[in-house]
């Protein structure tokens, strides 16, 4: 339904023509190319009397377009009265039975509401009550942002467009744009049925130890690719994946996936390039005995040897943290030993005594094992004379617990400048 402003302000002139004459011609040009299968109607306000907020008329009810007849009705309009644009839009919506059907209104107005209604509130009401109601609004020669406010709100509250048109050319363009937006969208053609899923399967153990590598193999039809993912059961965010690629001798290359440190039920899924699930199988991640072998206490500042006791195939690093803190003070890697198991790793301990935590974290920062460690103060002292001749060589004796490291520095007293 088109809603046309024929209030007195439409006598205003642009480029030597009245805004009413420009609007009439723009409407007739629009309807000349109107699709024959689209019904349309016209509501006009302010064209019959002055000072009357009820001067609203459905000039042409919604129906098949008779362009010649509608053009004659438009040519006979004479601007006279008020701007009850909100009531006119509501009347247009009710004529379209907007509470039962999809309905679109295109309002052309050159000013703000001058009767006792709020366009913004009306837009919210129509959006709430309508099945699928939309109002597109064209502000014709409405230059002030304050005057545009109600028109814009009416459109945006219903999901429609507000377009400001300053002259005849912009008005024609605005009508064309809103007409295109209002056209019903043809349903997309049905998608072709996807090809049948390939006859393939995943080969993997029923269970495996936490944190280790599990090997996954592929059987069945050749020539397919994609990725195999590990998901926690019932979740859609994967914890690791490997690419499915053909082997040079036929079949597929096996892939290895690092298992999480959290025991529980998981699922392996082969997703093709088209994101469909080609095959899947369950995998139980089970607990394993993972331990850090360290003394209960050690001397601050010394080198600590950390033993790693765990099933083969784990990765990650051993970190040292002050107890209750998240910023580590050092780390060493978990590396397999040639004779089996893991090489001990060494950590230089901090100089501050206190309680600390050692944590073996996987490459994904998952906790595999932990052990507390208490650091006791180191005994350390320097033996040197109280004075010496400038420029000579000074011999400094060191008395300390075994295993400390570092450097002896000569610093000017009361300053932070290292001399040597």
Q: Are 347 and 294 in contact (CB under 8 A)?
A: no
pLDDT at 184 (0 to 100): 58
- Return the C-alpha torsion angle 66, 69, 73, 74, nearest 10: 60
Answer yes or no: is pLDDT of 171 > 70.
yes
22: in domain: yes
pLDDT at 181 (0 to 100): 58
Distance from C-alpha of 26 to C-alpha of 411, rounded to nearest angstrom: 90
Q: What's the token pair of residue 303?
A: 């080198």
Answer yes or no: is pLDDT of 146 > 60.
yes
Instruction: Report the candidate in 264, 281, 177, 188 with the shortest Cα–Cα distance to residue 228.
Output: 281
Range of the domain at 260: 200-286
For 30-70, what is each residue's pLDDT tens digit?
888 888 778 899 999 999 999 999 999 999 999 998 888 88
This prediction's pTM: 0.52
CB atoms within 10 A of CB 128: 10
The pLDDT-based confidence of 419 (bands split at 50, 70, 90) is: confident
For 318-327, what is each residue's pLDDT tens digit?
999 999 999 9
3-state secondary structure 68-124: HHHHHHHHCCCCCCCCCHHHHHHHHHHHCCCCCCEEEEEEEECCCCCCCCCHHHHHH
Say how many domains are in the chain.
3
pLDDT at 183 (0 to 100): 59
Q: Are 378 and 405 in contact (CB under 8 A)?
A: no
3-state secondary structure 131-171: CEEEEEEEEECCCCHHHHHHHHHHHHHCCCCEEEECCHHHH
Answer yes or no: is pLDDT of 241 > 80.
yes
Rounded mean pLDDT of 96-116? 91
Same domain flag for 18 and 158 = yes
Same domain flag for 295 and 353 = yes
CATH code of the domain in which 278 resides: 2.60.40.10
Same domain flag for 59 and 169 = yes
Distance from C-alpha of 149 to C-alpha of 122, rounded to nearest angstrom: 14
Residue carrying structure tokens 């400094």: 396
Q: What's the token pair of residue 90?
A: 């509501």
Answer yes or no: is pLDDT of 418 > 90.
no
Same domain flag for 159 and 209 = no
Distance from C-alpha of 28 to C-alpha of 34, rounded to nearest angstrom: 10
Most confident residue range from 22-31, 124-133, 204-213, 403-412: 204-213
Same domain flag for 10 and 90 = yes
| Percent of the chain residues past pLDDT 70, beyond the cut | 98
Same domain flag for 17 and 150 = yes
DSSP β-ladder status, 200-203 and 213-220: antiparallel
Element spanning 304, H or E: strand 303-309
Distance from C-alpha of 200 to C-alpha of 24, rounded to nearest angstrom: 68
pLDDT at 158 (0 to 100): 92
CATH code of the domain in which 315 resides: 2.60.40.730
Rounded mean pLDDT of 333-355? 94
Q: Are 256 and 262 in contact (CB under 8 A)?
A: no
Domain-terminating residue out of 269, 286, 303: 286
Same domain flag for 307 and 236 = no
Q: Are 286 and 251 in contact (CB under 8 A)?
A: no
In DSSP terms, which residues pair with 207 in a beta bridge?
A: 284
Answer yes or no: is pLDDT of 185 > 60.
no
* φ/ψ of residue 67, rounded to 5: -60, -40
Distance from C-alpha of 149 to C-alpha of 151, rounded to nearest angstrom: 6
Same domain flag for 58 and 117 = yes
Same domain flag for 358 and 315 = yes
For 242-261, what is each residue's pLDDT tens digit?
999 999 999 999 999 999 99
Rounded mean pLDDT of 202-212? 96
Answer yes or no: is pLDDT of 152 > 60.
yes
Q: Between the CA of residue 325 and those of 104, 321, 357, what are the distances in Å?
A: 62, 6, 9
pLDDT at 350 (0 to 100): 95
The pLDDT-based confidence of 315 (bands split at 50, 70, 90) is: very high
410: in domain: no
Distance from C-alpha of 401 to C-alpha of 300, rounded to nearest angstrom: 9
* φ/ψ of residue 268, rounded to 5: -95, 130
Answer yes or no: is pLDDT of 189 > 60.
yes
pLDDT at 176 (0 to 100): 81
Rounded mean pLDDT of 165-174? 85
190: in domain: no
Same domain flag for 217 and 328 = no
395: in domain: no
420: in domain: no
For 381-415, what is each residue's pLDDT tens digit?
999 999 999 999 999 999 998 889 989 999 988 88
For 264-309, what is each residue's pLDDT tens digit?
999 999 999 999 999 999 999 999 999 999 999 999 999 999 999 9
387: in domain: no
The pLDDT-based confidence of 180 (bands split at 50, 70, 90) is: low
Give the full edge-to-edge strand order of the sheet including 255-258: 200-203, 213-220, 255-258
Same domain flag for 258 and 160 = no
Same domain flag for 215 and 164 = no
For 2-22, what is each residue's pLDDT tens digit?
999 999 999 999 888 999 999
């Amino acid at each position: 339904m088109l809603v046309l402003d024929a209030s007195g302000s439409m006598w205003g002139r642009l480029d030597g023509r009245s805004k009413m004459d420009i609007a009439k011609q723009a409407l007739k040009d629009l309807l000349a190319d109107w699709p024959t299968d689209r019904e349309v109607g016209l509501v006009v306000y302010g064209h019959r009397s002055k000072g009357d907020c009820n001067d609203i008329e459905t000039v042409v009810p919604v129906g098949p377009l008779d362009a010649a007849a509608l053009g004659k009705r438009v040519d006979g309009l004479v601007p006279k009265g008020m701007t009850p644009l909100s009531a006119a839009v509501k009347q247009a919506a009710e004529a379209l039975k907007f509470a039962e059907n999809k309905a679109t209104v295109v309002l052309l107005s050159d000013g703000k509401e001058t009767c006792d209604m709020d366009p913004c509130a009306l837009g919210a009401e129509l959006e709430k009550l309508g099945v699928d109601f939309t109002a597109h609004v064209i502000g014709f020669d409405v230059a002030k942002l304050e005057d545009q406010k109600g028109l814009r709100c009416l459109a945006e509250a219903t999901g429609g467009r507000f377009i400001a048109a300053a002259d005849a050319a912009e008005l024609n363009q605005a009508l064309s744009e809103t007409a295109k937006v209002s056209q019903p969208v043809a349903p997309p053609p049905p998608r072709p049925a996807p090809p049948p899923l390939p006859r393939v399967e995943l080969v993997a153990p029923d269970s495996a130890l936490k944190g280790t590598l599990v090997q996954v193999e592929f059987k069945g039809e050749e020539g397919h690719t994609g990725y195999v993912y590990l998901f926690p059961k019932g979740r859609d965010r994967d914890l690791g994946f490997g690419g499915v690629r053909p082997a040079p001798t036929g079949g597929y290359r096996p892939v290895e996936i690092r298992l999480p440190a959290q025991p529980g039920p998981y699922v392996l899924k082969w997703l093709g390039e088209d994101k469909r699930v080609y095959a899947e199988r369950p995998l139980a991640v089970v607990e394993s005995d993972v331990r850090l072998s360290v003394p209960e206490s050690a001397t601050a500042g010394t080198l600590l040897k950390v033993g790693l006791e765990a099933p083969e195939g784990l990765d990650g690093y051993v970190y040292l943290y002050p107890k209750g803190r998240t910023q580590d003070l050092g780390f060493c890697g978990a590396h397999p030993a040639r004779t089996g198991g893991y090489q001990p790793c060494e950590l230089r301990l901090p100089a501050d005594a206190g309680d600390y935590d050692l944590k073996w974290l996987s490459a994904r920062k998952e906790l595999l094992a932990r052990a507390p460690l208490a650091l006791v103060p180191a005994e350390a002292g320097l033996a040197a004379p109280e004075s010496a001749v400038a420029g000579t060589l000074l011999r400094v004796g060191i008395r300390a617990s075994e295993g400390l490291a570092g450097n002896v520095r000569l610093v000017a007293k009361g300053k932070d400048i290292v001399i040597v």
